[in-house]
Structure 1
Amino acid sequence: MAGLDQERLSRFQRLLLDHGLDCYIACTPISMGYLASFFEGGGERMLLMAIRPEGSPAIIAPALSATHASHTGVADIRTWSDGDDAGELFEQLGVEWGLRTAVIGVDDELIAAHLLRMQQALPAALFKAAGDVMAELRKRKDSREIGLMRKAAQIADAAWDAFLQNARPGVTEAECETLVRAAMQSGGGTPTFCIVAAGPNGAEPHHATSKTAMKEGDVVVVDWGCSVENYLSDITRTACVGRASSEAKKVYDVVYRAHMAARDAIRPGVPCEAIDRAARAVIEEAGFGQYFVHRTGHGIGMMGHEPPHIVRGSTSPLEVGQCFSVEPGIYIPGQFGVRIENIVTVTDTGHESLNMEPPSTLPEIPN
């Protein structure tokens, strides 16, 4: 898909009307990429796409991004050079579009310095964080998007073997991370992250992979993913180096049952919090509720974390085409952690897992 997507633009413009926005400022590679295949970020330089409920969008871009911007097919491209005040171009656009007292939505990631300059240019306008409006546009994936996510998931799935074949006493977390990343790269994906957390480190859900060497009996949590054409995968598996303790096997069984209970609850129209509740009920009943310290899942697509939020208090109903993680976990400080994560997409009758099915018992890696 190349250039401005008119169908997506039209849907977004209807959303702007629905949300009472006179203009939207997109500034991230994801927002501009989704609308116009413009996957570029300006960093400290002001680079943005302005969209109004009617009419064509405009791009304000630094000179070094002008050629890339021209590939979008957007006719109104206003360029500036280093040393210029890019805010003057925004001020001029505001005058031409009648935005003096407008309600203007912006990407949540808009740099504060740029927002302050825009507010200086249009002091009577109301600027609002409106990332949820952009997220609403992207929330239901079409068949092509799901196909890319399925491919990314399959590449990540295949990389699990690189861990299983090399995790031994004495091998470090970092060494295993390198092997998993290399497997995703050779499989055709672009590695985006990999966490390897051995033994007590696994009780830290977002552990920073270290040079910790694995030991016999260590329960190891591995969380990794890659991208394919800007669409992401994300998977977590847990295994034991050598023979697992009875406690580790018990905890794994609880997490596995929680994972499957959450997935069994997925169907269109069900509120997001019901999925979280289904997983949490299993873990609480087993006596480990205090060790389940995060939500059950997060949306995923072009962003690693996006709506829907599978969490208590989220009453948003699930819709066909939404994609999200199911990743209950138990983390016992000083001992070990267990997490099982698959990415799923909502279907007419329930869900499809984009990842391979997790093993029902804790894998034990022979030495």
Structure 2
Amino acid sequence: MTTDLAWQLLCTALVIFMTPGLAFFYGGLVKSKSVVSMMMLSFGSLGLITLLWVLYGFSGIGTISESGFTNFFGNPFQDFGLTGAFGDLVKEFDDGTAVEDSTNFFGGLAFGGSFAIITVALISGSIADRAKFWPWLLFAGIWATVVYFPGQAWVWALNADGDYIGWIGKWGALDWAGGTIVHQAAGAAALALALVLGQRKVGFSKEETAAHNVPLVLIGTAILWFGWFGFNTGVPGTTQGQTTLIFLNTLIAPAAGLIGWIIVEKFKDGKSTAVGAASGVVAGLVAITPACAHIAPIWAIVLGLLVGVVCCLAVELKWKLGFDDTLDVVGIHLVAGFIGCAYLGFFAQVGGTGLFFGGGFDQLIKQVGSSVAVIAFAFIVAYVVGLAIEKTIGFRAKEEDEVAGIDLAIHEPGYQEVG
């Protein structure tokens, strides 16, 4: 096993661990009577999206073409179930030839799948306390198929020469690890589902949204931050110098995000909260995801502080505008993801040149244009699919189940009385 492959497999394990971390993070934020339901939305995504990625998701990114219809969607059924790829691996074993190409292929496949899993799981935070489990899985499968699987190819697909062939990458928009197709796409889909399902019957007020288990939120945050080092540094082909810069920026930006958020909280509410600190960390992580390989550490600090401040204010919009984004997926992932991508239009120094370093407006136009396109596509698909599910089999739990707590109606209680 090569060192590069070993590192990629380790990073894959770290990213997969992020989804249980997200389950802890989300689970601690909701009411005690819906914690199991909330966590199951993440674990359900872990199961379903893994299977869909292996069956046809990866084939789509692997078959994207230089132009035409398949430049946008590829051919997901060209190697359904990876039977062809597995046949190549078996042939290499039988012939006694080197298996480096095939083993690297399967390693990259697993790494890409871990991204797909966490992206879909992120969306579930906007529909906490009121979404049914099986309709969620139906939505997750359709949205991943139509939006995420081809979208990942738009950003990262390469030809045999190592040149970008997806329209976003080919255009020259910078997105190292998923500011567009992971965070902005998930945030846009979260907004769509929040609008489709509407406000909670109980709990849509500042006074009723306190986290039921703050330590669980902090544990989830720690796991997410830990896993994010794999998320950002595991990209295939990363040089040693890039890896160290990415690692450092992945440490810096969330730290700055934490400080930015709790400072705003202190001025706004008179105190800084642990949940606010955790939210600031996540905002910083989201923002640095597209930018980690492209900016100097000093600008990572500025970016983290910026999104900590902006996202702390942005999460308040749901109260003013009336959309029930329960766990602030929109205010954190959509907003911080957009800022992180747009920021490169000003501050990019590696892989592209931002406006403030003599690059003109070209990079900024590409950053904003690709972001707007992904947001619009992800939102429209999510809204149409979510509405269709709600109008047919029903996406939202019954009112009495929401009031009593959907854990008991859909799964089982998270906490049992003793004695």
TM superposition score normalised by structure 1: 0.24
TM superposition score normalised by structure 2: 0.21
The structure with more helix, counted as a fraction of residues: 2
The structure with more strand, counted as a fraction of residues: 1
Q: Determine which structure has more spread, i.e. the larger CA radius of gyration.
A: 1
Which is bigger in relative contact order (C-alpha 8 A, separation at least 6)? 2
